[in-house]
Amino acid sequence: MDAIRVPLIAGNWKMNHGGVSGVVLAASVAEIACETAGIEVVVAPPFTALAAVAHAVEEVAQRRGRAPIGVAGQNLHIEAKGAFTGEVSAPMLVEAGCRWVIVGHSERRQLFGETDELVAKKTLAAIVGGLHPIVCVGETLEERTAGRTLDVVLRQVRAVLEPLGRALGAAVLAYEPVWAIGTGKVATSADAQEVHAAIRATLSQRDGALAARTRILYGGSVKPENSAELLSQLDIDGALVGGASLDADGFGAILRAARPAS
């Protein structure tokens, strides 16, 4: 981590925790975040839990006198409204209390056919709608084994960087090797750092200030036991956490590990 970039830890709950258990978890995470200075924290519940979670977080903020965590959608549609059954737009996420949205998660790319082009359109729709997108990139095991990791990841980065340019300053990038997601196989900190540095170099070719400011998160089997080592790398500015964000103790331990040394 570099001091100019505030570490960001985001919990992607995926299709776990509805409004009832989600409110309890978010309130606990918000309390822990109040005690953990120097980092930014986001949780991404399923759509149906967003408003209740945002409300619970606001209640903690009122009581503690500071906004402890942000709330993210896990996906969005590119249009603001219309006949798109089952979809949710950026303005709707904002109305539900979100300031963030995850875009192009590998599960969206692999299971729901999202292309680089669609991911770029969603990233733009998020920014235009007033949200900070967390744009996910990452290679499959087959691509890594074939030595194509940087080709694939940098192609995905350029697909958002080329059309958006400096507007990408509102976004955070997340490198999530697909083979490390939910498998317990974490990239070594050196391998992750190599990819993060290559992503930052690609941003830098376009805009040095953008590269210096943009946070690049690592995701894929981040746990309390491995988070400090990953976060100690120069170009790893935080984590996008799946399974370990589903309970407050585990996520809280990751938040504490992310605290900058004082």
Active site residues: 105, 176
CB 50 within 8 A of CB 80: no
The token duo for 172 is 């955070």
CB 55 within 8 A of CB 69: no
Considering the complex, state which of residue 127 and residue 218 has its C-beta at the smaller distance from ligand 13P: 218
Query: What are the angstrom distances between the C-alpha of 225 and each of 230, 253, 255?
Result: 10, 9, 12
| Interaction pattern, residues 86-125, with ligand 13P; x per rule: CB under 6 A | -------------------x--------------------
Which range in 27-35, 150-158, 224-232, 234-242 contacts ligand 13P by CB under 6 A?
A: 234-242
Which range in 18-26, 160-168, 197-205, 238-246 contacts ligand 13P by CB under 6 A?
A: 238-246
Which residues within the stretch 157-216 sit at the binding site for ligand 13P (CB under 6 A)? 176, 181-182
Alpha carbon distance 59, 122 (integer Å): 30
For the chain, the C-alpha Rg in angstroms (whole number) is 17
Instruction: Establish if 221 lies at the interface with ligand 13P (CB under 6 A).
Output: yes
Cα atoms found within 13 Å of the Cα of residue 179, Cβ hemisphere only: 12
Instruction: Establish if 12 lies at the interface with ligand 13P (CB under 6 A).
Output: yes
Considering the complex, state which of residue 34 and residue 231 has its C-beta at the smaller distance from ligand 13P: 231
Considering the complex, state which of residue 12 and residue 89 has its C-beta at the smaller distance from ligand 13P: 12
Which range in 144-152, 190-198, 199-207, 242-250 contacts ligand 13P by CB under 6 A?
A: 242-250
Instruction: Establish if 226 lies at the interface with ligand 13P (CB under 6 A).
Output: no
Task: Catalog residues that contact ligand 13P under the rule CB under 6 A.
Answer: 12, 105, 176, 181-182, 219-222, 240-244
